[in-house]
Chain A
Amino acid sequence: MFKNFLKIGNKKLKSRLIVGTGKYKSLSETAKAVKISGADMVTVAVRRVNIIDRKKPMLTDYLNPKKIIYLPNTAGCFNSQEALRTLRLAREMGGWKLVKLEVLGDKKTLYPNMIETIKSTKTLVKEGFKVMVYCTDDPILAKKLEDLGAIAIMPLASPIGSGLGIQNKTNISLIIKQSKVPVIIDAGIGTASDATIAMELGCDGVLINSAIANAKKPLLMAKAFKDAVISGRNSFLAGRMKKKYLASPSSPTKGII
């Protein structure tokens, strides 16, 4: 209905919903969920090819990288060295320069290690990567990443896969206000309304994986998220009414019989 593109680097996305491709029952379910979600961009991981069973299907057989934007991610990396290695391999694989950096600090919380994240961002920017960065919801660190050249800031709503939704709306709002690059909520969204809330706060997009893949009916949840993100964005653009402490009747008081 509205001109509503999400611009990340030189990519123009029609959908503000980015989806992960992990945790699904099968690659065919992954592909169906991605299609229903309407996402133009998907996150993918870099792993060893299975050399023993060469008949195992590959992700690229189900999701055509020419039709959908692959966003290589460093999920599972716990230091800068591992993350850089992963993304350099991703770049070699098909010229991917647009990447998502995620350096984890702790196995229990999968909370970002911001010291290693900052270090990696510096190196990647220097090497010509366009880096979208998973980070804590700390406005000072978010600003630091932007200053270093991150092309999108991706603060967590809550820990990866927790489904707890946005835990610190104030911090997310502060990050949105100060950022000149897109702010995309990454991690912790549990259900469609969480995504709407993120978009109403003014986020430029949301990245969802577990909330769709782990739903009882993933394909229906993919549709729910598609709608939730559109609704949240429209609601943000429309500008909500002011909150008041007392009631205000919806029908005219003049002419009451």
Chain B
Amino acid sequence: MAKLQLNGKKISIKSNISIFDLLVKYKLTNKKIAVEHNGKIIPKTNYKKKKLKNNDKIEIVHFIGGG
């Protein structure tokens, strides 16, 4: 198991899963989103390559209504 911080919330995931796996878990694979991994934006093409480790900080953002 690995502990992550996802959008400010602590979550536990299986070890060695990728960003893509995380997006599948949250049903976000075909949504307009962007992912930041420890402060660095991850290009879509690297979602499968990038494995998550203990204490990683992930931010997943999308567009919402705003002025």
Residue of B nearest to A187 (CB): B67
Could you write out 24 A-B pairs with CB less than 8 Å apart?
A20-B66, A20-B67, A23-B67, A43-B67, A44-B63, A44-B65, A46-B34, A46-B62, A48-B7, A48-B59, A49-B7, A51-B9, A51-B60, A54-B26, A58-B31, A59-B62, A60-B32, A73-B66, A89-B41, A92-B35, A94-B32, A161-B67, A187-B67, A209-B67
Residues of B within 8 A of A13 (CB): none
Q: Which of A27, A58, A92 contacts B34 (CB 8 A)?
A: A92
Residues of B within 8 A of A43 (CB): 66-67
Q: Which among B8, B27, B33, B43 has the highest number of chain A CB atoms within 10 Å?
A: B33
Chain B binding surface SS class: strand
Question: Do the beta carbons of B65 and A60 come within 8 Å of each other?
Answer: no
Question: Do the beta carbons of B27 and A54 come within 8 Å of each other?
Answer: yes
Q: How many angstroms between the C-alpha atoms of A89 and B44 in the bound complex?
A: 11
Residues of B within 8 A of A30 (CB): 65
Q: How many angstroms between the C-alpha atoms of A27 and B65 in the bound complex?
A: 8
Total residue contacts A-B, CB cutoff 8 A: 101
Residue of A nearest to B44 (CB): A92
Distance to closest chain A CB from B39 (angstroms): 9
Residues of A within 8 A of B28 (CB): 49
Question: Do the beta carbons of A60 and B62 come within 8 Å of each other?
Answer: yes
Q: Let me know if A21 is at the binding interface, CB within 8 A.
A: yes
Residues of B within 8 A of A45 (CB): 63-67
Give the interface of B toward A (CB within 8 A): 6-9, 11, 26-28, 31-36, 41, 43-44, 59-67
Question: Do the beta carbons of A47 and B67 come within 8 Å of each other?
Answer: no
Residues of A within 8 A of B26 (CB): 49, 51, 54
Q: Which of A47, A51, A54, A187 contacts B64 (CB 8 A)?
A: A47
Question: Do the beta carbons of B61 and A75 come within 8 Å of each other?
Answer: no
- In the complex, per-residue mask of A27-45: 1 if CB is within 8 Å of any chain B CB, else 0: 1001000000000000111
Interface residues of A in 62-104 (CB under 8 A from B): 65, 70, 72-73, 75, 88-90, 92-94
Question: Do the beta carbons of A210 and B34 come within 8 Å of each other?
Answer: no
Closest 4 CB pairs of A and B: A45-B66, A20-B67, A209-B67, A21-B65
Question: Do the beta carbons of B65 and A65 come within 8 Å of each other?
Answer: no
